[in-house]
Amino acid sequence: MVINPYPTQASRMIRKQVDLKYLFKPSTMAVVGVSTSQDNHPANVIYNKNHLRYPVKTFPVNPKGGFLNREILYPGVGHIPEDIDMAVIAVRAEVVPKVVEQCIKKGVRGAVIISGGFAETGNLKLQQRLVDMAKEASFPFVGPNCLGIYVPDYMDTFFLPGERIIRPEKGNIGFVSQSGGVLVDQMVKFASQGIGISLAVSIGNKAYIRETDMLDFFDQDLETKAIVFYIEGFEKKEGRKFVKRVEQCSKPVVVLKAGKSKKGIEAVSSHTASLAGDYRVFSEIMKQYCVAEADNEYELTCFCEALSCYSKGIKGNVGIVSLSGGHGVIAADACELYGISIPKIERQTMDTIKGKLSPEIRDIVSLANPLDLTGSSVDSDIVTAARHLSRDKNIDCIIALLIPYSPGVSTDIGAKLSQVARNERKPMIAYVPNEDKYRIIIEGFELNNIPVASSVEGAVMMAKALTRCRPC
């Protein structure tokens, strides 16, 4: 191998470019700080689960060396005989810079620093030292003070025993969270709603890798369709940088903001300053740049499910198909609350639908929007209504409220309606109660990429998500 001792300007530039793929999709991983005596030490939990359950090749490191469960315990990252893509560092805060130095020397391409004891405890200097070292060497790291990275079926640096957490399946949501706890909690909610994740990162103190870096990464990542952030706050002018980056991003972006309440009542000198509190400014600017801001965790889950299926925005003119008058009314109320309109359907649409309905229900249905097909309707009536509502030019999204206990509804209804949505090319959102008994209907939709809400309100929230992404 020829090593050029005098790198050119160009080759130096290439070396300086930070590529996050080694950090998020590594082939080899070192876990630094593995204990020989404590099985529940974070580093041990991380080492064990990656070593035993994931395809990433994992090496344990502890200065004492020796063996751990018959595997070699390396005294330093430099002792590992293979190239290392990324390191998980879970040692005492004051030792972290030394470990990072060793990683840089070894040519490791990035790290997750789990350790706490930095800016969050007032130790700003130590954190800055770390950042300076890493920036100088173009050595990206996640954290410190974080859970790190979770990639379904691939790697997991969360120091939570595998059997204790509920993991969502592989999917297309990229999740970035300032809080590890909120991320784990949200993963539970995603799992129960069948929402999959491409990559989840807890960025902790976000000393090096911050929200905007993750936007860059996810925008390029082929496995991610929608990008979600849990944000507590930005640094000075960082919000501006973030929305400017969102403007260039080709994928829908969702945020959940915490820290909305006013911190005390500050004396403000102008009307504008008192009208434009921190949270209002945040929220209005997210709207301006087509970021879908979820009001709460429940809405976040709905937004993610909708945007993992559809990435194109709608104006928000929904057509509602229901098998019960009550469900239609509840949906209409929710639409008003969330700023979704339920336009009148055209005469021609009504006539076409009426002509094709089963004779038994033709005279008892309510041909309006919401369209109430009554509990006597059968699959073909629901399919007809959805098909022709989709063709109405006033409608840009269908909400199908399915009551699976209605006797005329078959278990195939999910698959049948999915076919309508595919053919008519208008987004469809379904409501089916989230019960094991109705799983086959839910899967009929979900396997065909139609989002299913577990409440009527949730279905409307999904439509709201589509109104909040481009074009807004």
Residue number, 276 or 447, with CB nearest to another protein: 276
Closest approach of another protein to the CB of residue 269, in Å:
5
Closest approach of another protein to the CB of residue 394, in Å:
20
Residue number, 63 or 343, with CB nearest to another protein: 343
Cα–Cα distance for residue pair 359/172, rounded to 1 Å: 44
Residue number, 139 or 242, with CB nearest to another protein: 242
Q: What single-letter DSSP state applies at residue 345?
A: P
Residue number, 271 or 347, with CB nearest to another protein: 271
Closest approach of another protein to the CB of residue 232, in Å:
11
Closest approach of another protein to the CB of residue 358, in Å:
43
Closest approach of another protein to the CB of residue 316, in Å:
14
Residue number, 140 or 316, with CB nearest to another protein: 316
The 3-state DSSP class for residue 89 equals strand
CA 144 to chain centre: 21
Closest approach of another protein to the CB of residue 267, in Å:
12
Q: What single-letter DSSP state applies at residue 359?
A: T
Across 316-326, b (16+ Cβ under 10 Å) vs e yields: bbbbbbbbbee
Residue number, 54 or 234, with CB nearest to another protein: 234
- Specify which residues 200 forms β-bridges with: 150, 175
Contact call for residues 265 and 428 (beta carbons, < 8 A): no
Closest approach of another protein to the CB of residue 240, in Å:
5
Cα–Cα distance for residue pair 406/392, rounded to 1 Å: 27
The 3-state DSSP class for residue 117 equals coil
Long-range contacts of 122-127 (CB under 8 A, 24+ apart): 123/93, 126/93, 126/94, 126/96, 126/97, 127/205, 127/207
Task: Report H helices in 221-341.
Answer: 238-248, 271-275, 278-288, 297-309, 325-337
Residue number, 165 or 285, with CB nearest to another protein: 285
- For residue 389, what are the contacts with CB-CB under 8 A and spacing of at least 6? 319, 321, 345, 349, 353, 369, 371, 395, 398
Within the chain, what is the greatest distance between any pair of CA atoms? 87
Residue number, 280 or 344, with CB nearest to another protein: 280
The binding site for another protein (CB under 8 A) comprises 233-240, 243, 268-276, 278, 280-282, 284-285, 288-289
Closest approach of another protein to the CB of residue 229, in Å:
14
Closest approach of another protein to the CB of residue 339, in Å:
10
Closest approach of another protein to the CB of residue 100, in Å:
29
Across 246-277, b (16+ Cβ under 10 Å) vs e yields: beebebbbbbbbeeeeeeeeeeeeeeeeeeeb
The 3-state DSSP class for residue 68 equals strand
Closest approach of another protein to the CB of residue 429, in Å:
25
Cα–Cα distance for residue pair 49/279, rounded to 1 Å: 40
Residue number, 21 or 244, with CB nearest to another protein: 244
Across 174-185, b (16+ Cβ under 10 Å) vs e yields: bbbbbbbebbbe
Residue number, 283 or 411, with CB nearest to another protein: 283
Residue number, 426 or 464, with CB nearest to another protein: 464
Cα–Cα distance for residue pair 179/202, rounded to 1 Å: 6
The 3-state DSSP class for residue 174 equals strand
